[in-house]
Structures are given as C-alpha cells and as structure tokens.
Homo-oligomer: A and B are copies of this chain.
C-alpha cells in the first residue's frame, strides 16, 4: 500500500513547480528545501516509482544522463543551455522531417534538441545559479 510521505511530496512538488525536465541532482536540491535530510536514494526510488505509475517520464538527451518531466504533455522538444545545463521545454514542431527520411525506411518518430544559451545565462558570463 502506498504511503504519503513528506519526501514524496517534495519530489513531486519539484516537478510541478519546475515546468522543465529535471535531473535527479536538481530534484534533490529542490526537495532539500522542504526536507533537508532527504537523500539521493529516495530521489531515485521515487522517480522510478513515479515513472512506473506514469506520473513522470524520462527525457533522454545525447551524451547526458536523463532528465525527468511530468508525463502526458503534448508533443514538444527541448532547449539545452550549454552554460548552466538547464533543459527548457520548447513548444511547436516542424512537420517536414518526413522528407528527410531515406527511401524504403519507415519513420516512426524523431528527437529534436536545440542548444545554445538561455536567457538567464546570456547577460552574465557565468552559469546562472
């Protein structure tokens, strides 16, 4: 039987207020504001469980460990800030991918990642805190 703990609430709360995919590290930092003693194992345990419950889903990106975001969003992509590492949600998509597909291949989906500098990192010369 599932039990409602302060840790679980803090972890889910991190995703609800972030509005962007979070790494386990980011989740830990956010959750520690509410439950200072929370540990990394609990973060991983809860992320794993929330994925099984289809509350969260993984966001895979090239050459980096996965982030996680609330499940059930409409089709979207992400912008990766190379300065601070944050991942941002990007709405909209291009319909023209199909014409890039080689002949005889069956296109089932696509991953698009934009990268550069986010608004909070451009004015500064150091990663935003």
Residues of A within 8 A of B (CB): 58, 60-63, 66, 77, 79, 81-82, 88, 90-94, 96-97, 99-119, 122
- CB <8 Å contact, A110 and B115: yes
- CB <8 Å contact, A94 and B97: yes
**A94 / chain B contacts, CB cutoff of 8 Å:** 94, 96-97, 100
Tell me the dominant secondary structure on chain A's binding face: strand
Q: How many chain copies does the complex carry?
A: 2
- CB <8 Å contact, A100 and B116: no
- CB <8 Å contact, B111 and A116: no
- CB <8 Å contact, B62 and A79: no
CB distance from A100 to the nearest CB of B (A): 5
Cα of A61 to Cα of B111 in the assembled complex, Å: 9
